[in-house]
Amino acid sequence: MMVAYFGFILLVAFNKPLLGTLVTRGLSLGMLLGALVIIVAWILTWTYVRWANTHYDASLAKLRERR
Amino acid sequence: MTSAIGEPNAIAITFFLVFIVLSLGITVWASRKTRTAEHFYTAGKSVTAFQNGLALAGDYMSAASFLGIAGLVALSGFDGLIYSIGWLVGWPIVMFLIAEPLRNLGRYTFADVLAARLRQTPIRIAAAIGSLAVIAFYLIAQMVGAGNLIRLLFGLPYEAAVVIVGAVMLAYVLFGGMIATTWVQIIKAVLLLGGATLLALMVLSRFDFNPLALFAQASDMYGASVLSPGRQVSDPIDAVSLGLALMLGTAGLPHILMRFYTVPDARTARTSVGYATAFIGFFYLLTFVLGFGAMVLIGRDAITGIDAGGNMAAPLLAEAVGGTPFLGFISAVAFATILAVVAGLTLSGAATLSHDLWVSVVRGAKADQREQLVVARAATVLLAAVSILLGIAFKGQNVAYMVGLAFAIAASANFPALVLSIFWKRLTTAGAQSSMIVGTVSALLLIYLSPTIQVDILHNSGAWFPLRNPGIVSIPLSFVVAIGVSLLWPVASEARRFAELERQLHLGVESADELT
């Protein structure tokens, strides 16, 4: 997540012309990447929630029993 | 374009009164259930993941998000979106680093986590200083925003508007505690998401539901530069600094962290962050459409004509696409937004004052439930009075800037100590304490020395510190101080205490009452 976001911020900081490139009429590369950062955040958090609720919690329960 | 903004709007007032009556009704219901400090601070840990997800979103999507970002995008295009994106990416950080350990180890405030493994008194005092600084700046921003909004929308004087917000918020928190505050957040989040979606759809209907057609018309009207990074982030290091503060600040906001104590366990805490991220991300995607919609349909000159900061872009857009009734609805939603955020902030401030300072430090954790509740309520009244006074004193300040300040302090003061206390065995009391103090002081000092204060407000010719956002200096500094002090003066007993707590940190305990 931090890689995606800081990649984006560093592009904003150091390579403005690249982000200003138009992908298609009305859509610059910067706006496309910005929207993608939000979508990546969705995918990452929900993947984690699903993984943790099924696998991680089960392992924790086992650890608790071994007290 | 003539606008009904600035005249009393019957529909806005009606919607607003309905919201107030409904939320006060909930407060009355909640007050019957609020008998202990546990209920007052954490709603008896009875909130579900979906509810807490909405409430987190409600706490987070402040007036700065709705009015501020819509205005920023309308006036500067792409640059405004940097705020949207930065505010969202804080959430995965909260999820991966903070949410579950916080739930497992704390009771009412995030300082509980540090106090569990370090010496209570110095830690709680330092954490209270950082928290109260964040809350103060955040409260000022919301109160100033509320005052301006109500003055523009309902034609009421600024001071009267600030007093009304303070009084209604006081009623929620004082009588209903966390239960009422949570429900107010949930209603507000639903209203805000619904209202913003409706507004975005009405805008898009003018462009055949194709956002690209909207963005294309914006670049035809104002030049292709609106779609690419520009003036707001002219300095590369400043851009990175802003990004850091926006991202890490979320994980240091006391009123957000407090929400993790309202759910029964770590699993629910985790799932609620998933919901919150989904809602907030969706909302920030809408801001793309709202901002560019206002740019095209209203025009920049008309927006700055009403309010120089651009804060009225969203209400103006509502009027343009849906007439006066829709303006009334969106105005009421914006007001409800501010009211709910102020309530959440006040509650977390009350928790800091009464739980961290009074009960734990002054009374040495010997206060009974009755006394805790009395002190918490007294702290609420005090904070409401202070926030009304601050709101009036800071009349005319820039809202987005004050919120940025709050995020920078949160990221420098609270975040490093909290993360290190969860993950680093060798952190000592002195290390955490000095990190929180250095973080708070350096962030405040650098903001004072920045061009925003020195050049824009004090009209000096130059500033000692070149950056507008202190994050890139103050956040690493706070980490370095914590690690340096802990390594220079190690405390073996505190490292052992961490080993004992690690189990509870990751596994949680069956009953939170085992913790004191």
Tell me the domain boundaries of chain A. Answer: 2-65
A36 touches chain B (CB under 8 A): no
Answer for the pair B46, B263: CB distance below 8 angstroms, yes or no: no
Angle between helices B10-33 and B120-154 (to 10 degrees): 150
Least confident of B21-35, B134-148, B217-231, B240-254: B217-231
Answer for the pair B1, B317: CB distance below 8 angstroms, yes or no: no
User: Does residue B511 register a pLDDT over 60?
Assistant: no
CB atoms within 10 A of CB B190: 14
Determine whether the interchain pair B277/A39 forms a contact, defined as Cβ–Cβ distance below 8 Å.
no
Determine whether the interchain pair B229/A30 forms a contact, defined as Cβ–Cβ distance below 8 Å.
yes
Preferred mutation among B56, B73, B85 to probe A, highest tally of A CBs within 10 A = B85
User: Does residue B49 register a pLDDT over 50?
Assistant: yes
For the segment B485-499, the average pLDDT, to the nearest whole number, is 83
Determine whether the interchain pair A27/B213 forms a contact, defined as Cβ–Cβ distance below 8 Å.
no
Task: Please give the helix or strand (H or E) that residue B229 lies within, else none.
Answer: none
Question: Taking CB atoms and an 8 Å cutoff, what residues of chain A touch B83?
Answer: none
Say how far apart CA B233 and CA B245 lie, in whole Å.
14
Q: Which of B85, B211, B288 sits opposite A8 (nearest CB)?
A: B85
What percentage of chain A's residues is helix, strand, coil (to nearest 5)? 80, 5, 10
Q: Least CA distance to B49: which residue of chain A?
A: A49
Say how far apart CA B69 and CA A34 lie, in whole Å.
15
Does residue B79 sit within a domain?
yes
Question: Taking CB atoms and an 8 Å cutoff, what residues of chain B touch A27?
Answer: 212, 215, 227
Residues 6+ apart with CB under 8 A from B194: none
Report the domain count for chain B.
1
Does residue B4 sit within a domain?
no
Q: Which of A12, A13, A49 sits opposite B274 (nearest CB)?
A: A49
Answer for the pair B432, B416: CB distance below 8 angstroms, yes or no: no
Position B193 confidence tier, pLDDT thresholds 50, 70, 90 = very high
B428 closest CA partner among B128, B119, B133? B119
Tell me the per-residue pLDDT of B387-425, one tens digit each, with 9 for 90 and over. 888 888 877 666 766 787 788 899 999 999 989 988 888
Does residue B34 sit within a domain?
no
Tell me the per-residue pLDDT of B341-380, one tens digit each, with 9 for 90 and over. 888 888 888 888 888 888 777 777 677 777 878 888 888 8
Sign of CA dihedral B347, B353, B354, B357: positive
Residue range(s) defining the domain that contains residue B142: 10-26+40-514
Q: Which of the pair, B363 or B212, is modelled with greater confidence?
A: B212
Question: Taking CB atoms and an 8 Å cutoff, what residues of chain B touch A30?
Answer: 78, 227-229
